């Protein structure tokens, strides 16, 4: 493999990893506050996608539409909290999990019935698909944009988590998962804030994801949900830094498998990635996190 | 045997006898009273109830929602279907199968046995990593398992015929075999819940940290429950397959998962009785909406075909029910005789 | 080792959390049939000590040896099988199970029918009449008793009680004292008891020996009357004069 190719794959992995990291952060923020995974998380991205689809079809510029996509994501995240999580505070975890799964099913069914069960394309501006030629290196513009946006978002998030009071509260909840759990149910405002943050992160990641795939479909939310889940498990649960590490780790595993595997096996990359993750978890049940000191069995 | 609580066994037996009576009534109605369509519905109800009870034996005792049981369902159904299919049909539809699979033509008990072995191996491989995970991520891990299984079933043309599905599966099931299956699975689920292993899983459900401190191996206990319920699921799936005669990958995906889990959650995950009651309720809703889904008229207004209607209605009803009763209709209560005063 | 000593021995245990030293070179030993009290103000490392012994936390250094077996950093279920049972500072019962099932669920081996064993423990703790109630529905003082019955049902050689009297009124506290003493004195059980508390009253009247922790270090140990009057203890821990012991 030439240096050029290696750099290209590295950028590819970094940009995919940026999306995964943002996605994982969005899932992890709510998880760290509530101790529950939001099974309707993928649908936040779906709704953002369809919002963009209609705006872009109506003639709006892709990146303006993206702003509305993020707003739609925040609204969806809040709606999920209002419908599935808030009425069920204190209920058994199974009930809440299933409620969020039900919301996911309802959103998918509504889109299939009202709009269409088939995928729809979103035209992405053509310059985005271009490359910058830098000496012998070909740098895809979209990948660079993705990395830049993700870095800005993560720096902003880090700043907010360190220098604002609600941010500090969320960080306390995330960093010291067990202790916060032991101290009882978190305040309603903290939960609300976590869902807003989750919506913003999912929205930004969703826009980048859609720019990459160029289409929307009712079931499009599932892959982002699964990838962000794998990322937070890989990174060690209830720990925001771990979510970012896990996101990048997952992207590197995926890209490496795509490059190294024979072409005949490429359709099974997703399955093999999962196998790789299970193998890692077998040897390191706590993921890449070294924080977990409390053991059960 | 001393660790088996006589008291728990006695209660389980009473519940079993009562639930078996319910199944007996349904079977007798199906055999002697109902018309063919209704009788088919009654049979399907008992098969679905068996599957939901099998799921309950894990979800209820462990407190961990599992989407992965539909993966067991798929594996069990395909294995039983392939085992029982006649060699000629296999030659015709699945010529690329290995010869020893083609030449096999299993009877009902043999098909069930092979399905149980296959599902048990599958469950053992998946159960080891899943049981070691933190309880808050196990449900999502089982969802990942379901999706991977669906992908494989969809793509493995030589064995599953991909999206076209299996056809010409022989009909080896009578109403009475279905009755026997439902009674057996219900009995096994109740016995497991009453056993020391089942009680340990309930203990882990309530507080894994305290349970571990008191000597209970959390992962091993969860793994046992996973295996028990996988085996029950395999039996139910095999009977389902040999009653359905043709099926495809879409029958083992989100819609099915949602429907089976809805049955369980509506009735209450905590009890076998709840699982069966929930199956009855959702089956009735499904039947009454099936007509509406094909489109209907309110006066002069023609409502068009609504393919996702059932799912939507069940999902909404379920959300409302959960808000009203988070533990489902039955909670942890089983059907039993009123307690004697002391 | 020729004849392993029948005791629970903690030697030189240090536990560091990011930047914070919770335990600093702490040692203790507990024999069968003995009642040892570990006292210290909040944050002195008492609960960390229980968590290290029961395997919830792996110590940074030091060893835990039970009856001659080194069980340092071994997982909690295995430590339990070596004969250590514990209660929790905040009662942790299996709330949606009956009192009876709380106890039955942890019985490992049974020479007699398990129902009988469970009833005997409940009887001994005076809660047999509550056997069919859900554990989570009981009053706090009664929950404490269920927790002790449950710990005893594992057949422990060493019972660790983490602030057993917290949240109890005087009568309940006195009842608890009787129960704990009867356990320690029961030759058949052959069980040592380690009580962790910041309240001197219960502990001084009950314990054979006391050990005082302050900022993660042992600052005094010995028989209760000596420890109570130890100047270092009075100054560092109590700040004021100790309350007179009862009984």
Would the pLDDT of B168 be above 90? no
Task: Quickly count: other Cβ atoms within 10 Å of residue C24's Cβ.
Answer: 17
Residue C4: per-residue pLDDT = 57
- Contact yes or no for A226 and B144 at CB 8 A: yes
Would the pLDDT of A233 be above 50? yes
Average pLDDT over chain B, rounded to an integer: 88
Residue A247: per-residue pLDDT = 93
Query: Cβ contacts (< 8 Å) between A296 and chain C: which residues?
Result: 76
Query: Cβ contacts (< 8 Å) between C72 and chain A: which residues?
Result: none
Residue A7: per-residue pLDDT = 86
C85 — contact with chain B (CB < 8 Å)?
Answer: yes
- Residue-wise pLDDT tens digits, A127-170: 888 888 887 788 888 899 999 999 999 999 888 888 887 777 77
Average pLDDT over chain C, rounded to an integer: 86
Pick the more confident residue, B182 or C167.
B182
Would you state the structure tokens that stand for residue A222, as one six-digit string? 């599932």
**pLDDT grade for C13, boundaries at 50, 70 and 90:** very high
Which residues lie below 8 Å from residue B294, measured CB to CB, with a gap of 6+? B305
Average pLDDT over chain A, rounded to an integer: 84
CA B177 to chain centre: 17
Would the pLDDT of C226 be above 90? no
From B66, which residue of chain A is nearest by alpha-carbon distance? A94
- Contact yes or no for C96 and B6 at CB 8 A: no
Pick the more confident residue, A136 or B281.
B281
- Contact yes or no for B199 and C81 at CB 8 A: no
Residue A294: per-residue pLDDT = 37
Provide the strand spans (E) within chain B.
Answer: 296-298, 301-303
Measured CA to CA, the distance from residue B150 to residue B40 in angstroms comes to 28
Would you state the structure tokens that stand for residue A244, as one six-digit string? 């970012």
Interface of C with B in 65-84 (CB under 8 A): 75-77, 80-81
* DSSP symbol at B329: T
Q: Which of C66-75, C216-225, C233-242 has the lowest mean pLDDT?
A: C233-242
Would the pLDDT of A6 be above 70? yes
Distance, in angstroms, between A233 CA and closest chain C CA?
A: 21
User: Is C63 strand, coil or helix?
Assistant: strand
pLDDT (average), residues B88-117? 86
Residue A175: per-residue pLDDT = 63
* DSSP symbol at A285: T
**Do the Cβ atoms of A243 and A235 come closer than 8 Å?**
yes
The neighbours of chain A, by the rule of 3 or more Cβ pairs under 8 Å, are B, C
pLDDT (average), residues C89-104? 92
pLDDT (average), residues B296-308? 67
Q: B85 phi and psi, to 5 degrees? A: -60, 145
**Do the Cβ atoms of B60 and B193 come closer than 8 Å?**
yes
Residue B296: per-residue pLDDT = 65
Residues for chain C: how many in total?
A: 247
Query: Cβ contacts (< 8 Å) between C15 and chain A: which residues?
Result: none
**Do the Cβ atoms of B261 and B269 come closer than 8 Å?**
no
Q: Return the sign of the alpha-carbon dihedral for residues B8, B14, B17, B18.
A: negative
Which residues lie below 8 Å from residue A123, measured CB to CB, with a gap of 6+? A56, A62, A214
Residue B293: per-residue pLDDT = 67
Residue (of B163, B9, A184) closest to C90 by Cα position: A184
Interface of B with A in 242-261 (CB under 8 A): 254, 258, 261
What single string gives the DSSP state of each residue in A212-266?
Answer: HH-EE-TTTTHHHHHHHHHHHHHH-SS-HHHHHHHHHHHHHHHHHHHHHS-GGGG
Q: C94 phi and psi, to 5 degrees? A: -85, 90
Would the pLDDT of A79 be above 90? yes
Would the pLDDT of C240 be above 60? no
pLDDT (average), residues B253-267? 87
> Given the DSSP bridges, would you call strands C209-214 and C35-39 parallel, antiparallel or unpaired?
parallel
Would the pLDDT of B117 be above 70? yes
Query: Cβ contacts (< 8 Å) between C93 and chain B: which residues?
Result: 206-207, 210
C144 — contact with chain B (CB < 8 Å)?
Answer: no
**Do the Cβ atoms of B60 and B271 come closer than 8 Å?**
yes
Query: Cβ contacts (< 8 Å) between B328 and chain A: which residues?
Result: 95
pLDDT (average), residues C206-215? 88
Measured CA to CA, the distance from residue B135 to residue B126 in angstroms comes to 15
Measured CA to CA, the distance from residue A69 to residue A50 in angstroms comes to 8
ipTM for the assembly: 0.87
Bridge partners of residue A135, in order along the sequence: none
Would the pLDDT of C121 be above 70? yes
Residue (of A85, A62, A65, A83) closest to A73 by Cα position: A65
**pLDDT grade for C215, boundaries at 50, 70 and 90:** confident
- Contact yes or no for B2 and C112 at CB 8 A: yes
Would the pLDDT of B188 be above 60? yes
Measured CA to CA, the distance from residue A22 to residue A149 in angstroms comes to 10
**CB-side neighbour CA atoms (13 Å) of C8:** 29
Measured CA to CA, the distance from residue A110 to residue A113 in angstroms comes to 5
The neighbours of chain B, by the rule of 3 or more Cβ pairs under 8 Å, are A, C
Measured CA to CA, the distance from residue B229 to residue C115 in angstroms comes to 26
Q: Return the sign of the alpha-carbon dihedral for residues B174, B179, B182, B188.
A: negative
Measured CA to CA, the distance from residue C152 to residue C85 in angstroms comes to 7
Query: Cβ contacts (< 8 Å) between C77 and chain A: which residues?
Result: 297
- Residue-wise pLDDT tens digits, A86-96: 888 878 888 88
A295 — contact with chain C (CB < 8 Å)?
Answer: yes
Residue (of A278, A272, A222, A189) closest to A45 by Cα position: A222
- Contact yes or no for B202 and C105 at CB 8 A: yes
**pLDDT grade for C1, boundaries at 50, 70 and 90:** very low
Measured CA to CA, the distance from residue B212 to residue C106 in angstroms comes to 10
Measured CA to CA, the distance from residue C186 to residue C202 in angstroms comes to 20
**Do the Cβ atoms of A94 and B63 come closer than 8 Å?**
yes
C56 — contact with chain A (CB < 8 Å)?
Answer: yes
**pLDDT grade for C100, boundaries at 50, 70 and 90:** very high
What single string gives the DSSP state of each residue in B150-203?
Answer: HHHHHH-HHHH-GGG-B--------HHHHHHHHHHHHHHHHHHHHSHHHHHHHH
Residue B306: per-residue pLDDT = 65
From A39, which residue of chain B is nearest by alpha-carbon distance? B140
Residue B333: per-residue pLDDT = 77
Residue C2: per-residue pLDDT = 44
Distance, in angstroms, between C57 CA and closest chain A CA?
A: 6
- Contact yes or no for B315 and A230 at CB 8 A: no
C77 — contact with chain A (CB < 8 Å)?
Answer: yes
Residue (of B1, B48, B4, B2) closest to B195 by Cα position: B4
From B210, which residue of chain A is nearest by alpha-carbon distance? A296
**Do the Cβ atoms of C138 and C92 come closer than 8 Å?**
no
Residue C247: per-residue pLDDT = 33
- Residue-wise pLDDT tens digits, B313-323: 778 887 888 88
Q: Which of A234-243, B69-78, C139-148 has the lowest mean pLDDT?
A: A234-243
Would you state the structure tokens that stand for residue C138, as one six-digit string? 């009981």
pLDDT (average), residues B306-310? 68
Residue C238: per-residue pLDDT = 56
From B203, which residue of chain C is nearest by alpha-carbon distance? C94
Closest CB to B311 among A37, A105, A233: A105
Pick the more confident residue, C122 or A291.
C122
From C59, which residue of chain A is nearest by alpha-carbon distance? A293
**pLDDT grade for A80, boundaries at 50, 70 and 90:** very high
Closest CB to A297 among C58, C75, C90: C75
Would the pLDDT of A296 be above 50? no
Would the pLDDT of B339 be above 80? no
**Do the Cβ atoms of A234 and A249 come closer than 8 Å?**
yes
**pLDDT grade for A297, boundaries at 50, 70 and 90:** very low
Residue A241: per-residue pLDDT = 84
Which residues lie below 8 Å from residue A229, measured CB to CB, with a gap of 6+? A27, A37, B137, B140, B144
Residue B240: per-residue pLDDT = 96
Would the pLDDT of C93 be above 90? yes
**pLDDT grade for C16, boundaries at 50, 70 and 90:** confident
Q: Which of A115-129, A254-268, B223-237, C38-52 has the lowest mean pLDDT?
A: A254-268
pLDDT (average), residues B109-125? 95
């Amino acid at each position: 493999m030439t240096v050029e190719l290696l750099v290209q794959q590295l950028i590819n992995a970094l940009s995919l990893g940026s999306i995964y990291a943002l996605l994982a952060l969005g899932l992890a923020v709510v998880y760290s506050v509530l101790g529950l995974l939001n099974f309707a998380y993928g649908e936040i991205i779906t709704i953002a996608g369809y919002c963009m689809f209609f705006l872009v079809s109506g003639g709006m510029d892709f990146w303006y539409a993206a702003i509305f996509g993020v707003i739609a994501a925040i609204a969806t995240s809040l709606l999920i909290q209002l419908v599935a999580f808030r009425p069920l505070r204190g209920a058994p975890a199974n009930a809440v999990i299933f409620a969020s799964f039900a919301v996911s099913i309802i959103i998918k069914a509504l889109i299939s019935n009202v709009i269409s069960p088939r995928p729809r394309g979103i035209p992405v501006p053509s310059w985005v698909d271009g490359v910058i030629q830098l000496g012998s290196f070909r740098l895809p513009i979209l990948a660079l944009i993705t990395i830049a946006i993700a870095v800005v978002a993560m720096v902003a998030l880090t700043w907010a988590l360190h220098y604002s009071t609600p941010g500090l509260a969320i960080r306390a909840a995330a960093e010291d998962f067990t202790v916060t759990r032991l101290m009882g149910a978190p305040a309603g405002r903290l939960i609300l804030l976590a869902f807003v943050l989750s919506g913003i992160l999912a929205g930004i990641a969703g826009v980048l994801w859609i720019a990459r795939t160029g289409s929307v479909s009712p079931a499009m939310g599932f892959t982002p949900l699964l990838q962000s889940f794998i990322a937070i498990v890989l990174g060690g649960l209830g720990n925001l830094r771990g979510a970012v590490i896990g996101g990048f780790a997952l992207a590197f595993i995926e890209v490496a498998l795509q490059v190294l595997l024979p072409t005949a096996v490429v359709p099974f990359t997703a399955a093999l990635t999962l196998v790789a993750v299970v193998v890692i978890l077998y040897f390191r049940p706590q993921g890449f996190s070294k924080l977990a000191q409390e053991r059960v069995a | 045997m001393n660790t088996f609580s006589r008291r728990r066994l006695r209660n389980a037996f009473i519940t079993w006898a009562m639930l078996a009576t319910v199944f007996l009534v349904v079977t007798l109605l199906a055999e002697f009273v109902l018309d063919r369509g209704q009788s088919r519905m009654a049979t399907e109800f008992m098969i679905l109830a068996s599957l939901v009870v099998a799921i309950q034996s894990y979800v209820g005792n462990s407190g961990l929602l599992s989407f992965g049981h539909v993966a067991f369902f798929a594996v069990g159904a395909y294995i039983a279907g392939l085992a029982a299919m006649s060699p000629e049909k296999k030659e015709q539809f699945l010529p690329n199968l290995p010869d020893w699979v083609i030449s096999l033509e299993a009877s009902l008990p043999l098909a069930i046995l092979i399905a149980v072995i296959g599902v048990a191996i599958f469950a053992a491989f998946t159960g080891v990593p899943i049981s070691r995970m933190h309880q808050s991520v196990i449900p999502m891990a089982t969802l990942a398992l379901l999706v991977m299984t669906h992908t494989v079933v969809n793509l493995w043309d030589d064995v599953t015929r991909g999206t076209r599905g299996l056809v010409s599966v022989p009909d080896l099931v009578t109403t009475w075999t279905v009755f026997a299956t439902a009674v057996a699975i219900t009995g096994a689920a109740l016995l497991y819940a009453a056993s020391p292993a089942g009680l340990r899983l309930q203990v882990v459900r309530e507080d894994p940290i305290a349970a571990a401190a008191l000597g209970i191996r959390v992962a091993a206990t969860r793994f046992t429950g996973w295996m028990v319920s996988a085996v029950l699921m395999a039996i139910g799936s095999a009977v389902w397959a040999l009653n359905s005669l043709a099926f495809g990958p879409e029958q083992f995906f989100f819609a099915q998962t949602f429907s089976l889990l809805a049955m369980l959650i509506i009735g209450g995950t905590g009890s076998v009785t709840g699982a069966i009651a929930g199956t009855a309720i959702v089956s009735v809703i499904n039947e009454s909406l099936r007509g509406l889904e094909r489109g209907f008229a309110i006066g002069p207004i023609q409502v068009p075909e609504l393919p996702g209607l059932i799912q939507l209605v069940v999902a909404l009803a379920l959300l409302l029910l959960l808000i009203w009763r988070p533990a489902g209709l039955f909670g942890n209560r089983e059907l039993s005789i009123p307690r004697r005063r002391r | 080792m020729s004849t392993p000593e029948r005791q629970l021995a903690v030697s030189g245990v240090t536990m560091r959390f990011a930047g914070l030293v919770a335990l600093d070179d702490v040692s203790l030993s507990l024999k069968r049939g003995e009642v040892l009290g570990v006292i210290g103000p909040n944050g002195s490392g008492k609960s960390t000590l229980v968590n290290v012994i029961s395997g919830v936390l792996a110590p940074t250094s030091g060893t835990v040896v039970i009856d001659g077996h080194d069980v340092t950093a071994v997982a909690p279920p295995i430590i339990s099988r070596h004969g250590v049972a514990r209660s929790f500072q905040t009662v942790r019962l299996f709330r949606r199970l009956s009192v009876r099932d709380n106890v039955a669920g942890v019985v490992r081996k049974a020479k007699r029918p398990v129902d009988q064993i469970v009833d005997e423990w409940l009887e001994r703790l005076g809660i047999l009449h509550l056997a069919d109630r859900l554990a989570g529905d009981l009053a706090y003082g009664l929950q404490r008793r269920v927790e002790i019955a449950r710990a005893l049902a594992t057949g422990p050689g060493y019972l660790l009680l983490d602030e057993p009297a917290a949240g109890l009124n005087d009568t309940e506290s006195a009842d608890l004292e009787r129960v704990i003493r009867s356990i320690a004195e029961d030759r058949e059980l052959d069980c040592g008891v380690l009580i962790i508390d910041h309240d001197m009253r219960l502990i001084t009247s009950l314990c054979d020996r006391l050990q005082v922790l302050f900022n993660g270090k042992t600052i005094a140990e010995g028989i209760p009357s000596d420890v109570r009057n130890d100047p270092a203890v009075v100054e560092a821990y109590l700040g004021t004069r100790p309350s007179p012991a009862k009984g």
